[in-house]
Amino acid sequence: MESTVKGFFMQLLWGALIAYFTILVIMFLAQRSLLYPAGKETPRLADHALPDMQAIETEPEAGLRLTHWFHPPASPEQPVILYFHGNAGHRGDRVPKMRPLIDAGFGLLITGYRGYGGNPGRPSEAGLRADARSVHDWLLEAGYDSDQIVIFGESLGTAVSVALASERPPAALVLEAPPSSIADVAAAHYWYLPVRLLIRDPWDSLARIGSISVPLFLMHGERDHVVPVRFGRKLYEAANEPKQAIFHDDAMHTDLLDYGDVVEAVIAFIRDKAALKVQP
Q: Helix, strand, or coil here: 87? A: coil
CB–CB of 147/275 below 8 Å? yes
How is the beta sheet containing 243-248 ordered, strand by strand?
Answer: 54-61, 64-71, 107-110, 80-84, 149-154, 172-176, 216-221, 243-248
Cis link prior to 215 (omega < 30° from 0)? no
- CA 159 to chain CA mean position, Å: 5
Burial 226-235, CB ≥16 within 10 A → b, else e: ebbbebbebb
State the DSSP H helix or E strand holding residue 151, giving kind and residue range, or none if neither.
strand 149-154
* CA-wise closest residue to 35 among 231, 228, 201: 201
Residues 85-104 as b/e (b if ≥16 CB within 10 A, e otherwise) read bbbebbbbbbbebbbebbeb
The DSSP symbol for 222 reads T
One-letter identity of residue 37? P
Environment class of 74 (CB within 10 Å of its CB; exposed 0-12, middle 13-18, buried 19+)? middle
Per-residue pLDDT tens listing for the chain (280 residues): 556 756 655 676 666 667 666 666 666 666 777 789 877 788 888 888 888 999 999 999 999 999 999 999 999 889 999 999 999 988 998 999 999 999 999 999 999 999 999 999 999 999 999 999 999 999 999 999 999 999 999 999 999 999 999 999 999 999 999 999 999 998 898 888 887 888 889 999 999 999 999 999 999 999 999 999 999 999 999 999 999 999 999 999 999 999 999 999 999 999 987 745 444 4
Helix (H, G, I), strand (E, B) or coil at 19: helix
- pTM metric for this prediction: 0.91
Maximal C-alpha separation, the chain: 86
